[in-house]
A and B are shown apart, each in its own frame.
Chain A
């Protein structure tokens, strides 16, 4: 029966009719065709689409197979095709979201379970050594101590507020690991953000700055974070990211405490912070609990310092006011590389969202 099927790719942006067919097929399985999918792999029986799998950069989602074809090796063929397609697009490390009931099916297609939010969703990756290798590499940076802290920054850009948070956290632990979100979806590039964090924290002791990874606040683990105007977070939007942190990253470095700044602006970030208490501190979850410590945001002239405010000032070219909110290294970089942005960019306003701690 498999032999009758043609497997092909479909660009939902160009093939409007095909996109509608896929949407219908997904709807029948209770799934939404997500807007960020760049390409679908579909199986057609004569001209009818009977199965599909979507690819959004390195994340595979919106996978469904019409009932009459389940149990055949169609899933394997589909995933095989997705792998080849992704390789051609430069993505060899893939992540997959699926319902827990389908985990076994995808294990047969070369995916390995990362974490499951019981009953809701499961994140998988297409290698047996992905998270393991990552944790092994982190292990090299383990430091001795009773209280090992962690701060995760987007730092878009690095401000005095971030510096304050780090200093406060350092006072409460023996060693602090600072991670910079590596997803390049912010106004300031990842390379620059990382550089500004290093520059801003230069000379400080008992501290390690780490580049980010796909496993920590990325489009793979926490997609809603990167969707503009996402007011609603799916039930497990934050859980997957936090569970990976708790079960893999924290143990690799021996992290006992995670520090966050209070979030007065962004609803999404506030929810993320709230969820942290549930997923990191809760004793009934698998894995050693991590204590969450909330530190009040730094205020300058009565206002909490925020990176979004800095970006607004950048858009206006107001480096004078900005100087009171960022360290000199950040100011210099923005002046040199980002000053051309005198028009407000779309993400300056939507983004209360792209600001974590």
Chain B
């Protein structure tokens, strides 16, 4: 899946995260979190896993985390990808 346009998903409220994505030649993910030290690795793991499941090969992601649970991370990243690809087609098995 390729990101075709800029997209944004989520909020900066507590326990949530904001995902911004723009079209990009390769795949780049930047993560910012108040709890970077304790959870940075876990957040990256979940994001990478989610992007892999959706077959995302291109796009620049900037993620600002406010203490979101894995389920919120997955959901927001998936929605940002769908918005960025202008698609509503969900491959449920891929999730």
Q: Does B11 contact A (CB under 8 A)?
A: yes
Q: Which residue of A lies closest to B7 (CB)?
A: A87
Kindly provide the distance from the CB of B23 to the nearest chain A CB, expressed in whole angstroms.
12
The residue that B62 contacts in the complex, of A80, A108, A109, A128, with Cβ under 8 A, is: A128
Dominant SS among interface residues on chain A: loop
Please measure, in the bound complex, the distance between the C-alpha atom of A128 and the C-alpha atom of B62, giving whole angstroms.
8
Q: Does A83 contact B (CB under 8 A)?
A: yes
A110 touching B18, Cβ below 8 Å: yes
Dominant SS among interface residues on chain B: strand
Kindly provide the distance from the CB of A83 to the nearest chain B CB, expressed in whole angstroms.
7
B12 touching A92, Cβ below 8 Å: no
Q: Does A76 contact B (CB under 8 A)?
A: yes
| Those of A70-84 within 8 Å (CB) of chain B | 73, 76, 80, 83-84
Residues on B with C-beta less than 8 A from A87 are 6, 8
Please measure, in the bound complex, the distance between the C-alpha atom of A340 and the C-alpha atom of B14, giving whole angstroms.
57
The residue that B6 contacts in the complex, of A84, A92, A129, with Cβ under 8 A, is: A92
B11 touching A80, Cβ below 8 Å: yes
Q: Does B76 contact A (CB under 8 A)?
A: no
| Those of B43-70 within 8 Å (CB) of chain A | 62, 64
Q: Does B86 contact A (CB under 8 A)?
A: no
Please measure, in the bound complex, the distance between the C-alpha atom of A312 and the C-alpha atom of B6, giving whole angstroms.
41
Q: Does A127 contact B (CB under 8 A)?
A: yes
Please measure, in the bound complex, the distance between the C-alpha atom of A76 and the C-alpha atom of B11, giving whole angstroms.
9
Residues on A with C-beta less than 8 A from B12 are 76, 80, 108-110
A92 touching B22, Cβ below 8 Å: yes
Q: Which residue of B lies closest to A128 (CB)?
A: B32
Residues on B with C-beta less than 8 A from A73 are 13
Contact code string B2-18 (vs A, CB < 8 Å = 1, else 0): 00001010011100001
Please measure, in the bound complex, the distance between the C-alpha atom of A127 and the C-alpha atom of B19, giving whole angstroms.
11
Please measure, in the bound complex, the distance between the C-alpha atom of A110 and the C-alpha atom of B12, giving whole angstroms.
7
| Those of A106-127 within 8 Å (CB) of chain B | 108-110, 127
Query: Which B residues fall within an 8 A CB radius of A?
Result: 6, 8, 11-13, 18, 20, 22, 30, 32, 62, 64
A sample of 12 inter-chain contacts (CB < 8 A) reads A76-B11, A80-B11, A83-B8, A92-B6, A92-B8, A92-B22, A110-B12, A110-B18, A110-B64, A127-B62, A128-B64, A129-B30
